[in-house]
Amino acid sequence: MTTILVLNGPNLGRLGTREPEVYGSETLADIGASLRASVPDEVEIDLRQTDDEGELIGWIHEAVDRRLPVVLNPAAFTHYSYALRDAAAQLTTAGVPLVEVHLSNPHAREAFRHTSVISGVASGVIAGFGAESYRLAVDWLLRAALRSPS
Ligand code: DQA
């Protein structure tokens, strides 16, 4: 069984009703269901959301210790949480893939969203495709990052 952690930061539990013109109408539960429907049976999608920075950092530590690949939407923490970046850097050091995702394209929005303190320690970044950003991230993990050597 391969487990992919899909971690979500603050306010993402409000998807569906939160600024649907920016973030779309799918809830986080919808995104989780769509991800689960798109992966093989032996892949577990462990989707979590928190508004708490410390809890999110704890989940990154868990991913480091269990060597679990991570899809991370850090939400507003993207733009200022050095603590989250330092946690995410441990994934890089451990050789565990990390895909930073965003529903919106932060670069097309307010200036404060143009900086990500996470991107520098991510394997890659997918932004601007709505819920599809998550599906693309999981697809890359399964097709490229987690492919067993032949
Ligand atoms: C977001 C973009 C962030 O700027 C914002 O704070 C979010 C969501 C996105 O998915 O587009 O909460 O990460």
pLDDT tens sequence across 38-83 = 999 999 999 999 999 999 999 999 999 999 999 999 999 999 999 9
Please report the domains of the chain, with CATH numbers, ordered by start residue.
2-145 (3.40.50.9100)
Q: What number is the average pLDDT over the span 134-139?
A: 98
Give the per-residue pLDDT at 38. 96
Confidence band, pLDDT 50/70/90 cuts, at residue 22? confident
The token pair at 105 is: 């394209």
Atom of ligand 1 nearest to the CA of 101: 10
Q: Which helix (H) or strand (E) holds 37?
A: helix 28-38
Q: What residues contact residue 76 under an 8 Å CB cut-off, 6+ apart?
A: 9, 10, 11
Atom of ligand 1 nearest to the CA of 79: 4
Residue whose C-alpha is closest to residue 129's, from 137, 120, 140 = 137
The sheet that has 70-73: what strands, in order across it? 43-49, 2-8, 70-73, 98-102, 124-127
The token pair at 68 is: 């679990």
Give the per-residue pLDDT at 41. 95
Report whether 113 belongs to an annotated binding site: yes
- Residue located nearest, by CA, to atom 7 of ligand 1: 75
Q: Could you tell which of 104, 132, 136 is best to mutate to test the pocket of ligand 1, judged by most ligand atoms within 8 Å of the CB? A: 104
Q: Ligand 1 pocket: which residues have CB below 6 Å?
A: 11, 73, 75-76, 78, 102-104, 106, 113
- Residue located nearest, by CA, to atom 13 of ligand 1: 75
Give the per-residue pLDDT at 147. 76
pLDDT tens track for 45-54: 999 999 999 9
Give the per-residue pLDDT at 87. 98
Confidence band, pLDDT 50/70/90 cuts, at residue 148? low
Atom of ligand 1 nearest to the CA of 105: 11
CB 114 within 8 A of CB 106: yes
